[in-house]
Copies of this chain bind each other. A is one copy, B any other.
Amino acid sequence: MQISDAEWQVMNLVWESSPVESNEVIEELAQLNNWSPATVKTMLHRLVKKGALKTESVGKKYLYRASVRRYDCVRRESRSFLERVFDGQAAPALMHFVKYAKLTPEEIAEIQELLDTKAAKKKDQWND
C-alpha cells in the first residue's frame, strides 16, 4: 500500500498521537501546511480507504488509529528511495547522508557505536 507525500504528514501525526480525532489532525495540519479542513478530511478518508488508518466511532465522532506500523512504512519507503536514487545500495546513501547532513557530536557517536557493534557481529562467526 502506497502512501503519498501529503498522506505521510497525516500518518506521522497519527502515529505520534494515536488515537486522534479528526479535529486535532485538521488543526495541526492547518497550521503546519496551510491545508483547508476539507483537504485534511480527504486525506483521512483516503487513508482509511487504503487501509492505513482505521476508525472507531465514539458517538458522533471517530477516533483514528494507524492500522499499519510505522516501521513497515518506513522500511518500504526507505527501500524504494534506495532503489530509485542509490541503485539499491545502502552504503553510498549512508556516505551521502554522513557527508552532507548536520550531525551533532552525540549523534555521530551514536552512529559510530552502532557501526561498531555491527562490525563486531560480522567478525563473530557464531553470530552471523
Chain A contact residues, CB within 8 Å of chain B: 5, 8, 12, 73-75, 77-78, 80-81, 84-87, 90-91, 93-105, 107-112, 114-116, 118-119, 122-123
Contact present for B84 and A5 (CB under 8 Å): yes
Residue of B nearest to A111 (CB): B94
Q: Smallest distance from the beta carbon of A44 to chain B beta carbons, Å?
A: 18
Contact present for B85 and A78 (CB under 8 Å): yes
Measured CA separation A99–B5 after assembly (Å): 25
Contact present for A85 and B96 (CB under 8 Å): no
Q: Smallest distance from the beta carbon of A27 to chain B beta carbons, Å?
A: 19
Contact present for A110 and B85 (CB under 8 Å): no
- Given pairs A90-B97, A94-B107, A111-B115, 14 additional interface contacts (CB within 8 A): A5-B80, A5-B84, A8-B84, A74-B96, A77-B84, A77-B85, A78-B81, A78-B96, A90-B103, A91-B111, A93-B97, A94-B97, A98-B115, A109-B119
Contact present for A95 and B118 (CB under 8 Å): no
Residue of B nearest to A84 (CB): B8
Given the interface pairs A84-B5, A84-B8, the reply to whether A91 lies near B110 with Cβ below 8 Å is yes
Residue of B nearest to A106 (CB): B91
Q: Which 3 A-B pairs have the closest CB atoms?
A: A90-B101, A91-B107, A8-B84
